[in-house]
Structure 1
């Protein structure tokens, strides 16, 4: 199906056709959209991810200004559809026979602008896009944008930074993950902790377990419990116990130090 002449409203209408109000209510709860929760204010119409992907296939060539309109929608599934269109477009431009660096750069910059204006603003949106787009674009380039995003206090920008490094890990490069991780150890927000531990675990699984254990030998005492649990998930029980004890001892030292001031 050609998407010439189609726009963001057509994508929204296609999503509405496969929406379900029961799923919408469940998704509102699952993604913590209540007051004070991480997804506060997010709106769902009730479209499952497989159905969203089928809609995206129909609108894969949607013009970028129309994708931008999807990303600016208050509806979560609209933003997800826009991001999945970008991922498809970026991966097509990255193919061996279809490589187009000008197009790849345009999409990467377009995506980064969306991140900076707060449109990639829930964990599934980040996880579906960051490693594929920025992780692909920055692999053989200066990685300053990763550290800039990691230095931002915004939860989603930090998660984009961490998940971008997954694109590097998949290609055997753990360096940026290991440089970024110590800078985020003090961020005890659950979704940062989980992403941090997940990326460290992947370093051990996909690149080199010794790189993970060397990192943990130095930083386990300063890590949050969630990040450490995720990072050590695939280590043997004795190693997991040792790192938990290191963390407990480190927490005890910090508590005594604060109490003595």
Structure 2
């Protein structure tokens, strides 16, 4: 365990409530145990640790993130790895060279609490910055055999609002419309619900035109008036 990882574990342990750990683990259906750290104290503790131990360059940052991720013994340590990817000091490190790191975290994390943050806030950021490279990659991921890469492709524009590339959004959704998996259907509905905040009429037309029903439809239209 490297110095930063030791500092992360110590900081998390200091704010942990071990009595909450079993409930947190059960809720997340996690094989990896929890320390019992709620989100707000976790983020506060990690910001302090990350600020006290800055990383000098992008390759070292990527190595540190993956070391923390791979060597984690508690789920909060993997949350820490994700938060380290988004820490303010490392915004300039958000380049295409970070993509293999995110891909590994998505595929090996393979659960919504990890993947959704990475999809919306990290992969989405790369798409916004490097659309010529990321757009065809997201189209490929949308048809990948890995569920969580498909979910990432569907969700990666969730914060784009009026900048949403609807062609890409629909092209990532449509190969997955026949998928009965809960997490796929939920992702389709969530992505459409977010775009509905920008263009509700277009979202309703798309849902009706594509014959989207069930869970995805309910999620997509849940904040829109019935009619």
TM range (shorter): 0.7 to 0.9
Aligned to 1:69: 67
Q: 2:113 aligns with which of 121, 124, 128?
A: 124
- In the alignment, the residues of structure 2 paired with residue 59 and residue 112 of structure 1 have an alpha-carbon distance, to the nearest angstrom, of 25
- In the alignment, the residues of structure 1 paired with residue 158 and residue 47 of structure 2 have an alpha-carbon distance, to the nearest angstrom, of 25
Deviation of residue 224 (structure 1)? 4.7
Residue 186 (structure 2) pairs with residue 194 (structure 1): yes
Aligned to 2:14: 17
Q: How do residues 1-261 of structure 1 correspond to structure 2 at under 5 angstroms? A: 6-33=3-30, 41-60=31-50, 61-62=54-55, 63-64=60-61, 65-72=63-70, 73-89=72-88, 93=91, 100=92, 103-116=94-107, 118-119=108-109, 121-139=110-128, 140-142=130-132, 143-169=135-161, 171-206=163-198, 208-220=199-211, 223-238=212-227
Is this contact kept in 1: 2:154–2:188, CA < 8 A? yes
Deviation of residue 103 (structure 1)? 4.9
Structure 1 runs (4+) deviating above 6 angstroms are: none
The answer for unaligned runs of 5 or more in structure 1 is 34-40, 94-99, 239-261
Task: Tell me the secondary structure at the aligned position of residue 129 of structure 1.
Answer: helix
Greater C-alpha Rg: 1
TM-score normalised by L of structure 1: 0.73
Is this contact kept in 2: 1:168–1:174, CA < 8 A? no
TM-score normalised by L of structure 2: 0.82
Is this contact kept in 1: 2:157–2:164, CA < 8 A? no
Q: Pick closer, same or farther for the CA change 1:115–1:230 going to 2, 3 Å.
A: same
The answer for unaligned runs of 5 or more in structure 2 is none
Is this contact kept in 1: 2:193–2:223, CA < 8 A? yes
Deviation of residue 150 (structure 1)? 2.2
- In the alignment, the residues of structure 2 paired with residue 194 and residue 8 of structure 1 have an alpha-carbon distance, to the nearest angstrom, of 34
